Amino acid sequence: MDLVLFDSHAHLNSGSFSEPKAREIRERAEAGGVVGVLNVGYDLRNSERAVRQSEALEGTWAAVGMHPHEAKNYSDDAEARFRELAAHPKVVAIGEMGLDYYYDHSPREVQREVFIRQMNLAREVGLPIIIHDRDAHGECLELVKAYGRGLEGVFHCFSGSKEFAREVLELGFYLSFAGPVTYKNAVSLKEVAKWAPADRF
C-alpha cells in the first residue's frame, strides 16, 4: 500500500503568512508528497481566510471555529457566520475548539460554554470536530461525553495518558500527535503514540 500524507492541522491562514508565502508553503508540501492540507480556523476572521485559501490553493480544505483562547469573542453573530461558512463545500470540520487551562486567555466558564455551543453547531451542520485540549483533560472529556456523543473528530495535539487516550478512542475520536511528541521529556506521550492503534491517529 502506498503511503498517503495529509496534513490534518495546518495554519496557512495565520496572520504570519502573506498569501504568496502561504501558497509557497503549500507548494513545498505538495512537492514533499503531502497530497492535502486542512487549514484550521481559530477565530472568525482567520476561519474566513481559511475558506478563501481553500478556494485558491489546490489540495487545501478548511475548518472553521473558535479556539479557546478566543472564546471571549464568540457571539450569536459569530456563530451565525460559522454556520454560513460551514455550508461551503470545502469546509470539512468545525474547530478548532475546546479548553486551554494552561494560558487561560479566556475565562474558563466562557471556554466551556463556547465549546458546548460549537459541538452543538457541528451536530447541526453534520461535520466532525477538532478539539484543542491543554491542561483540561478531565473537563474536556466530561463535556464531550455530555454534549459530543455521536460526533466524530480528533483530539488535536494529544497530551494525555494512555487511560485518557483509551477513553477518547472509545468515544470514536482520533488522536493527533503533534510537535510535543518529539520533546526529550515526553516519555509517557511517546508510549501513548506507540500504543495507539495505527488506524486511529
Examine residue 182 and state whether it is found in any structural domain, yes or no.
Answer: no
Residue that the C-alpha cell 491562514 belongs to: 13
pTM of the model: 0.95
Tens digits of residue pLDDT in 26-82? 999 999 999 999 999 999 999 999 999 999 999 999 999 999 999 999 999 999 999
Degrees, nearest 5: CA angle 188-189-193: 120
How many separate domains does the chain show?
1
**Cα–Cα distance, 150 to 195 (Å, whole number):** 25
Residue-number span of the structural domain to which 146 is assigned: 5-156
Q: Which residues contact 16 (CB under 8 A, 6 or more apart)?
A: none
Examine residue 163 and state whether it is found in any structural domain, yes or no.
Answer: no
Q: How far is CA 28 from CA 32, 50, 172, in A?
A: 6, 18, 33
Examine residue 200 and state whether it is found in any structural domain, yes or no.
Answer: no
Q: Residue 42: which CATH number?
A: 3.20.20.140
Examine residue 191 and state whether it is found in any structural domain, yes or no.
Answer: no
In the structure, what pLDDT confidence band is assigned to residue 4 with cuts at 50, 70 and 90?
Answer: confident
